[in-house]
Amino acid sequence: MITLDNICKRFGAREVLRDLSFSVASGEFAILFGPSGAGKTLLLAILAGLEKPTSGRVLIGGSDMTHVAPEKRPVTLVFQRHALFPHLSVFENIAFSLRARHTHRGVVRQRVGELIALAGLEEYAHAKPDVLSGGQCQRVAFARALASDAEVVLFDEPLSSLDQVAKAGLMSELKRLHRVKKFTALYVTHNLEEALALGRNLYLLDDGHVKRSAQTDQSQNCNIL
């Protein structure tokens, strides 16, 4: 479970996040929806430990992680522009987290092989990211995030730079990965259509804090918006 407790973040006199509190239950796929500049990416950076809040607490699985370094948190982040390592192949990108934790070579080969198959990237295992399409890059980024064995996966508008066809394919891919791996997910987007298509639990971030939240129903009607 992720809990943000009265998070504030100021840059000089400018307060970007104000007394922000909300929780995401374990195994839930939550969507944080909000306009550009609302502080969605900043919120994810605070959750991942890449930014420190000015005040407030970040609780993950009941433990206070506010001052814990990013590499020690059970959280990973899928970046908007993939952030794949350009000097590493698809296999090496996915294996990065396992190797960083000194996982046995055989286990790395097996785990990465499984994730490559799960993401449908068998043909590209030895390709460098610069020869992949945007959609393929994002699939590598998903697989790489899952290889980190993080309990919580944060998604920072990962589909925003893709065309509609690639986006639709990846959304169902993402839902399938969530069903299989059962991680807790927080997905931020400014795209309402994407938000409604992906998750049942929506949070609206505007003017520095989460204003309202609601569950979308199967017909994708959302009573908060």
Partner 1 sequence: MPLGFKSCCVAITALLSLFVAVALCNVFLVSPATLRHALSDGSVWPVVKVSLETSLLAACLAMLLGTPVAYVLARKTFFGKAAVETLLDLPVALPPMVAGLALLILVSPSSPTGSVLAKAGLHLIFTKAGIVLAQLFVALPFYIRAVRSAMFAIPPSLPAAAAVLRATEAYTFFHVILPLSREGMISGFVMCWTRALGEFGATAMVAGCIPGVTETLPIAIYTRATSGDLASAGAAAFCLAVISFVTLIGLRLAFKDTAQRRKA
CA distance 219 to 212: 20
Task: Please report, as a single letter, which amino acid is at residue 94.
Answer: I
Least separation in angstroms between CB 51 and partner 1: 10
Least separation in angstroms between CB 119 and partner 1: 16
CA distance 181 to 151: 10
CB-nearer residue toward partner 1: 98 or 202: 98
CA distance 132 to 146: 19
User: Residues in the site for partner 1, rule: CB under 8 A?
Assistant: 48-50, 69-73, 75-77, 79, 81, 83-87, 96-97, 99-101, 144-145, 147-148, 150
CB-nearer residue toward partner 1: 101 or 211: 101
Least separation in angstroms between CB 48 and partner 1: 5
Least separation in angstroms between CB 126 and partner 1: 17
b (16+ CB within 10 A) / e for 130-154 = eebebbbbbbbbbbbbbbbebbbbb
CB-nearer residue toward partner 1: 39 or 49: 49
